[in-house]
Each structure stands twice: as C-alpha cells, then as structure tokens.
Chains A and B, each alone.
Chain A
Amino acid sequence: MQVANKLSPFFENLNFERDDNTMVINFGPQHPSAHGQLRLVLELDGEQVVKAYPDIGYLHRGIEKMAENMTYNEFLPTTDRLDYIASTSNNYAYALAVEKLIGVEAPRRAQVIRTMLLELNRVISHLFFVATHALDVGAMSVFLYAFREREFAMDLMEDYCGARLTHSAVRIGGVPLDLPAGWLENAAAFCDKVDHEVEHTYGALLNENRIWKMRLEDVGVISAEDALSWGCTGPMLRGSGVQYDIRKEEPYELYSELDFDIPVSDRCDSYGRFRLYMEEMKQSTRIIRQLIPMHAETSPELMAHAPQYISAPKEEIMTQNYALMQHFVLVTQGMRPPKGEVYVPTESPKGELGFYIKSEGEPYAYRLKCRAPSFFHTGLLQELLVGTYIADVVTIIGTTNIVFGEVDR
C-alpha cells in the first residue's frame, strides 16, 4: 500500500504495489465517458480486466425519501431529475402509476399528446445515446450532427412546455396544455428530418464503418439468459434476442392502436444494440406521424374528470362553489388515493421504468420505489466487464446507456 504524506501524495487513481501482477485503477467518478458519476474500480492484468466493481451513489439525492414527504402532485416535477435525458418519460411513468392507483384514465386528446411527447423523448434520448456513444468510441462528427437534431427536438419540447431538460410536461390525469399552433407541422418536419439523418448521416457514417464495427462487434456480449437474470430491459434485452417491449406486450396509452414494429437483434453485442437504437428512432417517428392526424379528431378535454382527485377545469372552479371547495382541498391538502399498492411498468428509452407506490390513504405516499432500468444495467457491468480489454470498457459503458440521475435517485 502507499504511505501518503505531504511530500508524497496519495495517488487515488493508482495502486502499484500488490503481491500479484494486477493493477487497480479507478475509472471515474469524473471520467467523461462514465456518463455521470460512475466510479468503476477495475483490477487489470496487463490490459485485461480481471475484476470490475461499479461504485455508485455519487448523485444520490434521496428521491424516494422525498416522495414519502410530498403530496402526489408536488412530487411530479422531482421525477424530472431521474432520467434527465428524457424527463417526460419519468413524469409519465409516475403519473400513470398514480392514475392506476386512483382508477382514472386521461382523456383521449391528452393521450395523443402524451404518446407524442413520449416518442419525442425517445428520439431525444436515442440521439443523445448515438452522439455520446460515438464520441466515447472516437467518432467525433456524429456527436455534432446528432446534437443538431436533438436541438430541434428540444425546441419542440420547449414550444410545448417551456422547458428543454426538465419538462414536467405531464400531469396526473392528463396534460396541462394543448399543443401550440403550428406544433404538429413542426413535428412532422422534424420526423422527416430525423428519418433522413438516421439513414443518411449517422447510418452512413457508422453502420458499415470499418473502425466502428471493429470497436463494437463482439464487444459486451450478453446472452439472453443473463440479460433476463440481470434485470436488463429495453434495448439491452432486445439486443440479446428477447423480443419484449412493454409498449407492445402490456400496452398503455394509445400504443395498442398504433402500428409499429419492435426491432430485435440476436447479435447480443454492442453493435446489435447500436443498430437497435437507430431502428427505434425510425419507429418512434413512425408513431409520431400516425398520431398527428389523431389530434384533430379528439375533443378538447385535457384533464380527466375526477374531482375527488384532480382539480376541475378552471371554468368550473370559477363558476361552481363545490368545484372551488374541492379544488381548495386538493391544493392545500393534496389528493388522498385509496389504500393499496401498485406497480406500473412503462417502456422508457432506457428500458423498463416502473413505479411501485404503496398508499395508506394519506396525501403522502407511504412508500415509493422507482424501478430504474439503468440501476440494473449498472449492476450488470460487474460481470460484463470481466475478461474484456480496457479499451472496450468505454464501449460497454456507452452501450448500456446508463444515466446516473436514475441509478442513484
């Protein structure tokens, strides 16, 4: 061990003197490729990883504890801070869990808007993945192009809800606003743009790129059995040949009415997963295109009618005494869902994002557990990294697409 004093400082990144021939290095917690605060303790034999130990918790904010001390509506903006790359999917997963608990369904226009926002967030998140993954592996220009398109998507989100990163664009029981004028046309134009870019820019730059394939093919191989056992979901599971997408298998919102495919890869490696992300972006734009004409066919209600749990529309509050009273109670005390427990899974861009809520009939949740996909994908690293070379570590971390907001919560 090192003996540290003022003259010979402690090298926290390196540990030289060990009995065997291995070297222990600290990857992170401030490594640019760690996608947040991941500290990965790697034991190396030469360039080969012998042991990997992911150390998390550097971004822990106690979100589950906060949920136990906030009313249900108060907590919704906090969910933005889970997977901050695609906030609406967190807002939605939480709102859906509470809606299932109180037995409320959002009106159809709200469903159209929510589904559109969810898919837009999927595109934002996948663009971010392609950009940063390519940057980590060494393809700089893809990052620039992908972030350009991501900017357009964020502009769309900004047009809708005024925020670019922490959207809070969904409410329990519906959505707060209708789409602004011209939004649908912009969304359609954006879909065309993304389809074109996925095919002709990122696809053309990466799909058959020899260096890219050498870096990704047969790197980070997960068998289907392992993927299930480690709790992998989303592209990590479908990249291992298991065709399971919650949007198709346990449909929520309008997904049962929409026509889309679930891409699946049996390559089980990083390249297969990368191609999945590219394909999913095309499927998302396909869904958004189908939703655009559906918006005009719906009636303009945006929030569900359940005055016991959700405030009545402004007009009713201002004209009817009882609606005003109920609104006052909801604002000052918060809604009181019935006693019971619920676990609602949704397909977030990263995988299965589920909220378990245990309610004791109080305005505060008795227990809220956020089942974050990235948490389990981080756990997988301790097995996946063993036996790989240090140059592939960055590729494998990139391909798991972990976001530390939801790993540490």
Chain B
Amino acid sequence: MRKYVPKDNVQGKSYYTDRFWVAPRVPRSEVEDEHFAAVVTALGDLAKESYVEIGQLVVHIDATNNFTVLKTLKEKCGYTQCSEQSAVDYLAKDGEFELFYQLLNVNEAKRVRVVCRIKNGEAIESVEPLFKSANFAEREMFDMFGIKVNNHPFLKRIIMPDDWEGHPLLKTYPLHGDEFASWYEVDKIFGKEYRDIIGPENRDPAKVDRHDTKRFSRVGYEVPFGADISEGETEKAIEYSETLLVNYNKKASKQLDERR
C-alpha cells in the first residue's frame, strides 16, 4: 500500500518520531513587571489573554480589534515602532492563521507581541495608518500567505512576481515548487506550447551546448555567429556511470529481468 501523505501539510517531516514524546513548553509567567502590567490595564477587555514569555509580553486579542489595540499601544503606552508583522500557518491543525505584531517601546526598551487568529479566507484590517512599516510587512504577508488586508494602500505581491500562482509559505505549497513554478520561465518566455518542445530536461537555464555558436562564446577560438562547428558530431546524452545494481543506461524493465 502506498504511504499516506497528508495534503494539507506537505512540508518535510521528521523521519524518526517517538509517539510517547511530549514536548515541554517554554515557561510562561504572569505579568509582574510594572510597565507590562500598565499595558495590560490600558488594554482592558481587549486583551483576551496576556502572559510574559522569554522577557516579552504576549497579548492575545480578537482579530477584529487589531487596529484599536495597536492604536492604544501606540498612543497610550508609547509603542511607537512596529518591528515586525507576519503570520503562522495553522490551517492544517485549526483552519486558522495566527498573526503577530511585534512592537517596540523605544523609551522603556520593552517589547510586546500582539497575537490574533483569523479563519482561512478572512481579511484583516491594515495598521498602515499607525505604523508605516506595516506597508511592506503586510504586503509580504499577503504575498507569502494570501491573507488579504483591508484598507492597505497598495496590496500587491512584493517578493514573488505579480503573476505568480500560490503562496509559498503555506504548508500546502510543495517544497520543490508546483507545476506552475517549475514551468514559470518557459511559459513566460516561450509560451505554454513550448513545454513539450523544451521538455523538463532542457528546462534548466544552465544547460550548455558546446556546438551552439549563437548563445555561447568561444573565447580564443572565435567563429562566425551561428557557424556550424559540430563537424557531423551530434551532442551525446549524458551517460551515468554503471553501478553494481542499477544500469541507468538501459531500460529499467529489461534490467530487472536480467537481475531475476
């Protein structure tokens, strides 16, 4: 029977798993610090859950309140910089994305992480009016996860090309790229009908043809452009060395017969 591969998470898996292993958790402590306590008080009911994890305050909020919370943090608590904003893909487990905003208070040298969750397909309100750094960060999040951001001034792919299909940091995105990704350059430069002519083996742009005088220079052995220098010799396919068990140069079925 073929091994079952889950489709909702195609990322690399640990080869060895101990089914009795229970991973410990990084210790979370109560909010004791004076400044952090003031932050939690300022947020009031907006903070669903708050604790300190490795020296930083983590506040869980409702995704619909994200703008209000960040505005409160900026205007009342002095968190004037949004260092980072991105998402974590929990679609396979919970059908949700976890979004986080990493904020910095320059005067107190304190950091707060605001965490919220949205369902797949839901949009989030942009915080670009508060923190301009969110302009690029939210675009990257949209590009990498496909999370739509409402009222963003210019929500467009930032790292991948505009006509790209799929969102690379999703757990469903294959590691080696999908069909679209592997043919992207061929489709774009030559057209889809050239897929058969070029073939997967010639898709590699690093291919070198020593008889081709149109695209490859022959430094020190110059010939006219496009001249035929093959002298009747044809380009041979790459031969792989024979090993004890497998002869790659012969057809696999025949070879198995011989081994029998």
Contact = CB atoms under 8 A, between A and B. Distances in A.
A69 interface: yes
A305 interface: no
B81 to A, nearest CB: 5
A343 B102 contact: yes
B254 interface: no
B83 A371 contact: yes
A383 B132 contact: yes
B105 to A, nearest CB: 10
A237 B135 CA distance: 18
A408 interface: yes
A64 B56 CA distance: 23
Interface in B125-141: 131-133, 135-137, 140
B23 A230 contact: no
Interface string B81-100: 11110101100000000001
Given A60-B160, A379-B133, A340 B25 contact: yes
A352 interface: yes
Interface stretch (A135-143, A276-284, A353-361, A390-398): A353-361
A343 B159 contact: no
Contacts of A358: 88
B80 A340 contact: no
A366 B136 contact: no
Interface residues of B, number: 46
Interface in B148-203: 158-161, 168-169, 173, 175
A333 B83 CA distance: 33
Contact of B161 (A57, A341, A375, A376): A57
B136 A376 contact: yes
Main secondary structure of the interface of A (DSSP, over half): mixed
Interface stretch (A242-250, A285-293, A296-304): A242-250
B106 A244 contact: yes
Given A231-B81, A242-B106, A356-B102, A367 B135 contact: no
A192 interface: no
B136 A375 contact: yes
A230 B133 contact: yes
A342 B54 contact: yes
A174 interface: no
A376 B133 contact: yes
Contacts of B104: 345
A360 B136 contact: no
A244 B106 CA distance: 7
Contact of A342 (B23, B25, B26, B137): B26
B93 to A, nearest CB: 9
A342 B109 contact: no
B12 interface: yes
B20 interface: no
A1 B159 CA distance: 26
B41 interface: no
A100 B144 CA distance: 27
A367 B90 CA distance: 10
25 contacts: A56-B158, A57-B159, A60-B159, A60-B160, A62-B168, A68-B11, A69-B12, A101-B26, A231-B133, A244-B109, A249-B109, A333-B15, A338-B23, A340-B26, A342-B26, A342-B53, A343-B56, A361-B24, A366-B88, A367-B88, A367-B89, A371-B102, A375-B136, A375-B140, A408-B159
Given A354-B84, A375-B140, 9 more contacts: A228-B80, A249-B109, A336-B21, A340-B28, A340-B54, A342-B53, A375-B136, A379-B135, A409-B159
Interface of B: 11-12, 14-16, 21, 23-26, 28, 53-54, 56, 58, 80-84, 86, 88-89, 100, 102, 104, 106, 109, 111, 113, 131-133, 135-137, 140, 144, 158-161, 168-169, 173, 175
